[in-house]
Amino acid sequence: MTTSRTVESTDHPGVTVPTAIRAWSRWRWVRPSRWVLASIVLAGALLLGALVGPAGLTARSVLLELVGALPGVHVDSGLTAQQQAILWQIRLPRVVLGALVGASLAVSGAAYQGVFRNPLADPYLLGVSAGAGLGATLAIVQGGAGLPFVVPLLAFGGGLLAVAATYALGNTVGGGRTSAVIVLAGVAVAAFFSAVQNFVQQRFDDSLLAVYSWMLGRLSTNGWTDVVMVLPPVALSWALLLLHRRTLDVLAVGDVEAASLGVDVARVRLTLVLIATLGTTSVVAVSGLIGFVGIIVPHAVRIVFGASHRLLLPLSMTFGAAFLVLADVVARSAVAPAELPIGVVTALVGAPFFLVVLRRNKVAA
């Protein structure tokens, strides 16, 4: 009998050396393949998003144009001046914005699900959508739709106000620091903000079309303006969430167990909710309400790659970006030359997926 079958691995107590070697070998090959797959999917989605449309762009010409934009590189892509303008001022800003929105909604959804230990939680859980919708509606009916930044700023402020109201209401109730009470407070706040929004829409029914267009979600951009505006808060939200990946894994074991490990559960939950809300409200302000991304993508990543937040968060960001770019491709091409609201596309995919998630959790229960 060889000793290798009885000696334990120092890295994994209780696991024999051959078992640990096999696990390490399998991990060594699987781990890079995840990132290779994610990178390929994202790159393919971005390229497809830049190509789809009536301008007659080819993959080769787009790639050469992008390479030629690198410092010190001079390559003739063969694109006309008009095609270059379409690529740089219309296609790429929209594709990049779609990637930012999709990544932020997906990673925020994964964070909310980890914080509340609720597989059905999404970025709009605490009334963000209702608050942002009310803010955007007020801006539109007051004529702010034609002014730069007015609708996004009021939508951003409305989303943050709704979350603040949710926590204020939750903390006035006994045990308001628990996740269940906070979620219920979010439902109440969302109902109130939605009622106010419906009242405003009824009073200014001449603006209904513009309001519904915003609420159904869209990725139309003013060049790179929306991208530049949304990038700083989104990047900050991503960085802070990724720094809390291990904390989310600790919260997954339960409040009591996490507290016994030295985690201030209430403070950490509030911090993570505020970080995720910053990213959500930032993208909602420029894209409108795009549902189901925060449910579809994290669940798909969990099913394929596992539930550890150390992998779940960055992979959700990557696949979330790819998913929304591809959804926008469908929105632009399904009824061309007209365009579907992107929120309709994500709902058509997300509603059946939501039912699958419900059934999966019922079976697991």
Question: Can you give the pLDDT at residue 170?
Answer: 82
Tell me, what's the pLDDT at 27? 43
Q: What is the pLDDT of residue 241?
A: 96
Concatenated DSSP letters for 248-281? HHHHTT-HHHHHHTT--HHHHHHHHHHHHHHHHH
DSSP letters along 132-156, please? HHHHHHHHHHTTGGGSTTHHHHHHH
Distance CA 269, CA 263 (A): 10
Distance in angstroms (rounded) separating the CA atoms of residues 294 and 103:
9
| Euclidean distance between CA atoms 193 and 199, whole angstroms | 10
Average pLDDT over residues 353-361: 73
- Domain residue spans in the chain? 57-69+76-364
List C-alpha distances in Å: 327 to 91, 290, 333: 15, 11, 10
User: How many Cβ atoms sit within 10 Å of the Cβ of residue 222?
Assistant: 13
Cβ neighbours of residue 232 closer than 8 Å, sequence gap 6 or more: none
Per residue in 253-303, pLDDT (tens digit) is 888 888 898 888 889 988 999 999 999 999 998 899 999 999 999 999 998
- Read off the DSSP letter of residue 338: S
Contacts of 256 (CB under 8 A, 6+ apart): none
Q: Say how far residue 15 (Cα) sits from the centre of its chain.
A: 38
Q: What is the mean pLDDT of residues 314-325?
A: 97
Which architecture, in CATH terms, is 57-69+76-364? Answer: Orthogonal Bundle (1.10)
Position 129, amino acid = S
Identify the pLDDT of residue 243. Answer: 95
Q: Please spell the DSSP secondary structure of 51-115, one letter per residue.
A: H-STT---HHHHHHHHHHTSTT--------HHHHHHIIIIIHHHHHHHHHHHHHHHHHHHHHHHH
- Helix (H), strand (E) counts: the chain: 15, 0
Q: What percent of the chain has pLDDT over 70?
A: 86
Residue range 47-97, pLDDT digits in tens: 999 999 888 889 999 999 999 888 888 888 889 999 999 999 999 999 999
Q: Which residue has the tokens 């979620």?
A: 183
Listed residue (154, 99, 137, 151) closest to 293, CA to CA: 99
**Which sign, positive or negative, has the C-alpha torsion 123, 112, 292, 42?**
positive
The answer to whether the CB of 95 falls within 8 A of the CB of 62 is no
The model's pTM:
0.87
